[in-house]
Structure formats: C-alpha cells, structure tokens
Amino acid sequence: MENFLYFKELTSTNDYIKENIDSLENKTIVFADIQTKGKGRLGRQWQTPTGNISMSMLFKNQKCDISLYPLICGLSVSEVVDEVCGVNTKIKWPNDIILNNKKLCGILCESIISKNSVDVICGIGVNVNIKREDFDKSSLPYGTSLFIELQKEYDPIDISKKIATNLQEKIKVFNEFGFTSLKTLYEEKLVNKGKEVQVINNKETIVCTCLGINEQGNLLCNYNNKIININSGEASVRGLYGYV
C-alpha cells in the first residue's frame, strides 16, 4: 500500500501527522507498533502496547462536515473486523467498537484548520493481540481484544491496511453523496438503539431511550416524550446497567 509509514514506537500517530503534515501526502497512513502517549475522546489517555493497532490516516483539503468523520471511522473499523474475524461487532455511539459487550476500539479524529484548507487526522486504536492481564493491570474492566474474545492472534498491519482501504472508500462516498447512505449502515450497528441509556453531561445524568442518529451524527433520544439531540463533544452515553 502506498503512503503506509511504519514505526516501531511513537508517542502518538496523530501527533506525528500533525508535526509533519506539510510533508505528508493526502491519505498517508501512519502505523506504530507501540504508542506511548496516545489520546482518546474527551482527553482520555489511549496507550497501545505491541501487537495491536495504533494508526492514523490523513485526509487533506476536506469539504464536508468533519464532525461526522469519527462515526465514519467507527463504521469502517466495524465492517473490517467483521469481515476478517467472522464476528458481528456493534458501535457504541459515537465510535466505540463493541464485541461481546466490551470495548475493542477507540477513535480520535482531529482537524487542522487553516485559512485555505481543512485537514482531518483519523486516529484509530484497535485491541488485537492484547491479553486479559494487561486490561486488569490498567483497571479497564470493559476493555477486550480480538485475542481475548476469539483465542486467535491476528496481523495488526494487515487489518490496518484493510481499515485504511475501507475508510478511504467511505470518505469518498461521503464526499460525493453525503451521509445519508452511511447513516443507514451505521444505525444498523448501533448497539444502544431502542434501549434505555444514561446520558452523562458533566455531573448531570439523565435516562432516555436511544432512537438512532440524525444527519449531523448527533444521538437522538426520547426523554420524557420529547426528542433530544446529544452532541458527542458534550456528553457520554452508557447503558442503563453497564458499559453498553
């Protein structure tokens, strides 16, 4: 695959692209075998040991709504994992990939906005070959990996390249036709759809029923017989009785 850059170790694949963005071509993929200081959504730390996926993909000069890129990334990853592993992953809004009710993947998309262009960096971390004791040491009871769930090791680079190919195709569809067709595919995988969820915004928590998403990627919920929109930059969602 062209523009696939491999590194043994980086602090962050997203940061590498930001630091070198002027010299990198459009659709460059950066892969690190070990990521030591990755970042997750809402400022959370995301560190990836060897044998897993830490990758970022650069999309230059984007014209569409960049707030939808995290959802498109989640859909792409979910589809590839299903194809490679023969499973049926789900998506916990906005972009956590769920396998057997546990978190398999985290995604962080960042934008670089200048006077003349908008560039998007799609950062993706997938737990591929990590063992259960690694999660236990980090006190991550809701985390899992392909190895834990399927008792089989997979090639992180091969999966990364498949994700990059799928994501590139999805972004092309999005740029040409908008989010409508992708929205349908996404909602088919939405793990909380039709279920009661907790929406957590700072110290306030409400309980409502998840209905799906709108064209802007916001979560639609029924709260006291009113439809409300939940923005992923402002709130988190959990299942009524646990993570999902």
Q: What is residue 222's predicted lDDT score, i.e. its pLDDT? A: 97
Collapsing DSSP states into helix, strand and coil, what is residue 229?
strand
| Distance (Å, whole) CA 159 – CA 82 | 11
Average pLDDT over residues 80-87: 98
Residues spanned by CATH 2.30.30.100 within the chain?
Answer: 196-239
For 94-150, what is each residue's pLDDT tens digit? 999 999 999 999 999 999 998 888 999 999 999 999 998 888 777 778 899 999 999
29-39 and 4-10 beta bridge pairing: parallel
Of 142, 8, 167, 17, whose CA–CA distance to 78 is shortest? 167
Distance from the first to the final alpha carbon of the chain:
36
Mean pLDDT of the chain: 92
Of 81, 93, 67, 98, whose CA–CA distance to 179 is shortest? 67
CA dist 227 to 22, 58, 111, 194, 219, Å? 43, 35, 30, 13, 10
Of 62, 53, 64, whose CA–CA distance to 29 is shortest? 53
Q: What is residue 47's predicted lDDT score, i.e. its pLDDT? A: 57
| Distance (Å, whole) CA 76 – CA 59 | 15
pTM of the model: 0.93
Residues spanned by CATH 3.30.930.10 within the chain?
Answer: 4-189
**DSSP classification of residue 51:** T
**DSSP classification of residue 46:** E
Q: What is the CATH number of domain 4-189?
A: 3.30.930.10
Q: What is residue 243's predicted lDDT score, i.e. its pLDDT? A: 87
SS (H, E, C) 94-149: CCEEEECCEEEEEEEEEEEECCCCEEEEEEEEECCCCCHHHHHHCCCCCECCHHHH
| Distance (Å, whole) CA 44 – CA 51 | 21
Q: What is residue 140's predicted lDDT score, i.e. its pLDDT? A: 76
**196-239 sits in which CATH class?**
mainly beta
Q: What is residue 48's predicted lDDT score, i.e. its pLDDT? A: 65
| Distance (Å, whole) CA 175 – CA 112 | 18
CB 216 within 8 A of CB 70: no
For 23-43, what is each residue's pLDDT tens digit? 999 999 999 999 987 665 444
Q: What is residue 202's predicted lDDT score, i.e. its pLDDT? A: 82
